[in-house]
Each structure stands twice: as C-alpha cells, then as structure tokens.
C-alpha cells in the first residue's frame, strides 16, 4: 500500500492532475470537420471514437446518412480521446467505449451524453479449460481467477491498462471486487497481492482490443483465454476452431461494461447530434448491431442473439477520483505487471541525416522520461524493472547498449538513454535484416534467461535494405530458429510498406505509421504493446 500512497503524493505534485492518458491504440489523427452547414443541407458531424467502432463503421455511416448527417469518424483509444480534446483538437462529439473516465478528466464537460449500446468486459476461457477449473458449473470470483493465474492454470491475453479500455476495466474490476466496493474505491483498499497474482497470468499484451484478438487468432494454442469486450470475444469465436473457442466467464462479483456514450462537445451541433442519436438508437439498427456485432441494445425490448448471455451480472464502476486511477495505473506499470525487455533497432544510415535523426533523438528522450509532466508521457516512459536494449545500424550493426531501469537508479538510466540519443549520428548504407537478426538473437537470450519477461523489438528505418541479408534470408533464418520475437516496424521516410507489413506478419507484430504523426507519438503508441 505504501507504494500506492507514494505514487499518489508524487502525482499530486506533478503539473495538473489532469489524467489525460494516451491510449493510442488504433487510428490516425485527422482534422476535425467544420461546423454544420446551413439548415436544409446535410450536416457534417465529426466524432472522435474508440477504435472498436471501426468494426461497425459502415452501419453507423448509413444510419447517419439516412438522418441527413454526414458522419466523419476518427479513431483513438479512450484515454487518448481525452488528451486530444483537452489539448484543443476540435470535434463535434466523442464516442469512447466507456464514459466514466472522460466524465472525470475532460477539462470542459460534455453538453449532452447518450448511451448507444453496451458490451461487458469479460474473460473468455477455452471451454476445456473452463470445465477443468469448474467455471462451467459456477462462475468464479475475481479472486478465484487471480488464484488460477498465480498457479499457472490460466494464461490469458489482455490489453495494457494504461493504453486500452478493456485492460483498464479489468484491472479496476479486480481491484474493486476484491475490496468489496462497487464505487468509491480508495487507494488504501487496493489488494496488491491479488492483483499481482492476476497479472502473472497475462502472457500477451497489446495497445488495442482489436489487435489483441487478431494476435490470439494467430496462435490460440499459446493461451487459455482472453480478457476483452464480450462482443469481440464472440466475433473471435466465429473464426476459431471448435477446440479453441472461448466460453464467456462473468465473475460473480461483477464486471465493468462499456456503455458507448455519444458525448456532445459543440453547442451549435445540437440539432445534428439529436438526429444522429435518434438514428443510432433506432430499433432496426440496434437489432442489426446485436445480431451482427453482439452489441447489447439500449432498448430492453430488443431480443438478444442466442450467443449473447441474457443473465444479469453485477456491475462495477471505475473509481470516481482521478488520483486513484492514476496511482493504480502507475503501480501497474512500475510494480505489478510482468517486467519487459524492449529492444529498439534504430536506423542511422545517411538518409536519416537532419530532421529525421532529430525526430528519433526526441522520441527516445520522451521514452527516457524527458517529458513526464503529462500522464501519457509518464505511462509511455521506460518503467522500473524494464530492460532496454538500443541497437543502431547503418551498413554495419553497432554494439548493443543495455540500460536497466530500476527504481533506485531511474535518474541515471534516463540520463544514459538521453546521452545515447544525443550521440547518434547518420552515415552509411542500410542493413535492416542484419540488425534484426542480431536483435532476434538478443531477444532469444532474454527469454531463455527470464521466461516471464515480455520481450519485443521495435524497428525504425527510413529506407529499403541495401546491405547484408534481405527479407527472404531473414525469413529463412527465422524459420529454422524457433519462434521469432514480435517486431513492431515503424513506417518512416521511404521505408517499404510491403516489406514492413511482411515483417510484422512474419513475427506476429504490427506496423505503425510514422510518416504523418510525430515520431514521439508513434513511439508512445507502441509502448502499449511492450
């Protein structure tokens, strides 16, 4: 408990306790739409929405058009939505999966709020595993789930709570349920022992719920289950073999549900907002979303599909104080979660000279903690117990630089990364795959020495491979070396989109686009996957 109180005191001294976390999960930044046109014309209505909405975008756009509204959707994670609005980006409304956090953290409160549909954050467990644990006969408590995870009987996928709503909802559901609180959770009531046991079972992390499901689909044999929206779990089941399908488990002491509120931000758009709400809550659309996307309708008289359980489940809530949220998430990052080894493979070829290498230096400094005044920067920076490996390359591969982040020496470790960034210089050709082969060897040693670590590789290159082995040679080497460590390539400069996509597909990673957004923001987004 003392560590939580210490985190709270530190946060209280930080600039503004405005907790604007970057859940950078999916989507690109887009300019907001202009205000509504004159009466009689189709109104343009811009919405910054949670990334899960992408799955049902066509249905929403059609319903809006039928209501004479031209809906423009941009996507971000729930907590990134708050940060962007507080920073001054202009949207007519926001549509986060859960409205509890925005209601607390938005600097200017929404003018209207209407819940559109629901999805519980549940635990999906393979049917054979659920039966072995007895959960097919009686729903477990969150403490039961934590005990199973701590004993090694439950290996699951869950998003990073500092980057995604599903992970955060699960984390606070465990904390609230174990404390016996449906609301008003206090820092002193958080049971760190149960939470640590629960998190020991988290074997796969991600920054978005959609990518987490995709990663589960690629290798379901590696895991026993997944924490996600029930709607995502059911859609995933449609693509799984029968032996890997997930049974929905709702802990009997409660869950936290996504309520998808459309929250109006601009008063001049009230008319378009009202028409849009009416269209999205129309019974025909609600029935369609329930049948096709497993989203629970707001109207109680609309029948649920047979695969969506209708039994009542206890509902828990987010803490109602920002300092409690921030302290718990800080402790998750620095103390409770499984530690990580993050390997950064950095292009220092001649084409990186100038603004490109300057951007890379700045991004590394952000991760080192050089801009820790906001919550997004605090969660993105390198954390206590994390090992960081910095590997630069041009036509040759540099010596790896290892930096261990420990609570007692964080300042020194941050200074070491900052000095490394300042010393980077650009020259020579581009040997991408020679550097990646060395990074994969380093990752294999990390996993062998500490199997409990998350190990990941981030690749930043602005060009195509000119020296050493090519992609095919890399693929052949990986095929004969066992399971590859996930690589998260960043598209930058003239880097080949096709090659970076193939590299991510080969290793089970994901491509990030650094050609439009600031590189520091892309680095922060990737942190949800490490």
> What residue ranges do the domains of the chain occupy?
14-116+262-297, 119-257, 339-529
* pLDDT of amino acid 372: 67
Q: For residue 84, give the 3-state DSSP assignment.
A: helix
Can you tell me the mean pLDDT for 120-138? 97
Round to whole Å and give the CA distance between 65 and 44.
Answer: 10
Q: State the Cα–Cα distance between residues 311 and 335, nearest whole angstrom.
A: 36
List helix spans (H) across 111-221. Answer: 127-133, 142-150, 165-179, 192-199, 209-218
Q: Which pLDDT score is estimated for 358?
A: 96
| Sheet with 454-461: strands ordered across | 401-404, 387-393, 340-347, 454-461, 487-491, 512-513
Could you please state the CATH topology (level 3) that the domain comprising 14-116+262-297 is classified under: D-Maltodextrin-Binding Protein; domain 2 (3.40.190)
pLDDT at residue 369 in the model: 87
**CA angle at 58 for the pair 55 and 62, rounded to the nearest 5°:** 145
Tell me if the domain spanning 119-257 has CATH number 3.40.190.10: yes
Q: Pick the closest to residue 52 from 81, 32, 88, 87 (CA basis).
A: 81
Give exposure, 484-510, as e/b (b: 16+ Cβ within 10 Å). Answer: bbbbbbbbbbebbeebbebbbebbbbb
With the C-alpha atoms ordered 16, 18, 24, 29, is the resulting torsion angle positive or negative?
negative
Within this chain, domains 14-116+262-297 and 339-529 share the same CATH topology: no
Residue 21 — φ and ψ, nearest 5°?
A: -80, 145
Query: What pLDDT score does 8 carry?
Result: 40
Tell me the pLDDT tens digit for each residue of 517-527. Answer: 889 889 988 99
pLDDT computed for residue 521 by the predictor = 85
CB-based contacts of 43, cutoff 8 Å, min separation 6: 36, 37, 68, 69, 70, 269, 271, 272, 275
DSSP H helices, 393-466, are: 410-423, 432-449
The distance of Cα 296 from the centroid of its chain, to the nearest Å, equals 23
pTM, entire model = 0.87
**What is the per-residue pLDDT across 35-87, written as a single tens digit (0 to 9) for each?**
344 445 889 999 999 888 998 999 999 999 999 999 999 998 787 898 889 98
pLDDT for res 203: 95
pLDDT per position as a tens digit, 396-427 = 999 999 999 998 888 999 999 999 999 999 99
Q: What three-state secondary structure class fits 258?
A: strand
DSSP summary character for residue 428: S
Residue 49 DSSP code: E
Residue 2, pLDDT above cutoff 60: no
- Which residue(s) pair with 120 in the sheet? 257
Backbone region of residue 172 per phi and psi (left: phi > 0; alpha: psi in -120 to 50; beta: other values): alpha
**What is the model's pLDDT at position 76?**
85
Q: What is the pLDDT of residue 31?
A: 36
**Residue 373: predicted pLDDT:** 64
pLDDT the model gives residue 110: 97
The pLDDT value given to residue 463 = 87
Residue 182: pLDDT band with limits 50, 70, 90: confident
Superfamily of chain region 339-529: von Willebrand factor, type A domain (3.40.50.410)
């Amino acid at each position: 408990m003392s560590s939580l109180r210490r985190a709270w005191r530190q946060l209280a001294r930080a600039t503004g306790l405005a907790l604007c976390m970057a859940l950078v999960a999916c989507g690109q930044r887009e300019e907001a739409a202009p205000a509504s046109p004159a009466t009689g014309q189709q109104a343009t209505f811009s919405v910054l929405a949670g990334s899960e909405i992408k799955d049902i975008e066509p249905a929403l756009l059609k319903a809006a058009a039928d209501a004479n509204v031209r809906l423009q959707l941009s996507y971000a994670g729930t907590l990134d939505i708050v940060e962007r609005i507080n920073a001054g980006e202009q949207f007519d409304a926001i549509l986060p999966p859960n409205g509890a956090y925005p209601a607390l953290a938005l600097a200017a409160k929404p003018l209207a709020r209407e819940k559109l549909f629901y999805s519980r954050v549940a635990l999906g467990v393979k049917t054979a595993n659920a039966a072995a644990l007895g959960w097919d006969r009686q729903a477990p408590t969150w403490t039961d789930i934590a005990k199973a995870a701590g004993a090694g009987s439950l290996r699951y996928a869950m998003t990073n709570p500092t980057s995604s709503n599903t992970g955060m909802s699960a984390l606070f559901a465990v904390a609230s349920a174990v404390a016996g609180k449906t609301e008003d959770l206090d820092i002193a009531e958080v049971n760190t022992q149960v939470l640590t046991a629960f998190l020991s079972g988290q074997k796969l992390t991600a920054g978005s719920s959609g990518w987490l499901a995709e990663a589960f689909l690629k290798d379901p044999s590696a895991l026993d289950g997944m924490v996600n929206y029930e709607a995502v779990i059911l859609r995933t089941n449609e693509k799984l073999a029968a032996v890997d399908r997930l049974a929905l488990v709702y802990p009997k002491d409660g869950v936290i549900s996504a309520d998808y509120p459309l929250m109006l931000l601009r008063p001049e758009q009230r008319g378009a907002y009202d028409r849009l709400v009416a269209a999205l809550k129309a019974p025909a659309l609600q029935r369609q979303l329930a049948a096709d996307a497993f989203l629970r309708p707001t109207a109680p008289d609309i029948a649920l599909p047979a695969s969506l359980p209708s039994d009542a489940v206890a509902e828990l809530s987010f803490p109602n104080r920002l300092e409690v949220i921030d302290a718990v998430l800080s402790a998750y990052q620095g103390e409770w979660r499984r530690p990580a080894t993050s390997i950064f493979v950095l292009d220092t070829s001649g084409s990186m000279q100038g603004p490109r290498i300057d951007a890379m230096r700045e991004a590394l400094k952000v991760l080192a903690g050089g801009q820790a005044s906001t919550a997004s920067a605090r969660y993105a920076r390198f954390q206590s117990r994390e090992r960081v490996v910095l590997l630069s390359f041009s036509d040759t591969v540099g010596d790896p630089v290892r930096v261990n982040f420990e609570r007692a020496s964080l300042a020194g470790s941050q200074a070491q990364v900052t000095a490394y960034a300042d010393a980077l210089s650009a020259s020579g050709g581009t040997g991408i795959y020679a550097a990646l082969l060395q990074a994969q060897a380093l990752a294999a040693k990390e996993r062998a020495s500490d199997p409990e670590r998350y190990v990941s590789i981030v690749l930043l290159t602005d060009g195509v491979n000119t020296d050493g082995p090519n992609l095919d040679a890399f693929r052949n080497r990986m095929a004969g070396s066992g399971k590859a460590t996930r690589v998260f390539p960043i598209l930058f400069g003239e880097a080949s989109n096709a090659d970076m996509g193939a590299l991510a597909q080969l290793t089970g990673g994901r491509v990030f686009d650094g050609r439009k957004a600031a590189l520091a923001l892309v680095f922060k987004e990737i942190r949800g996957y490490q």
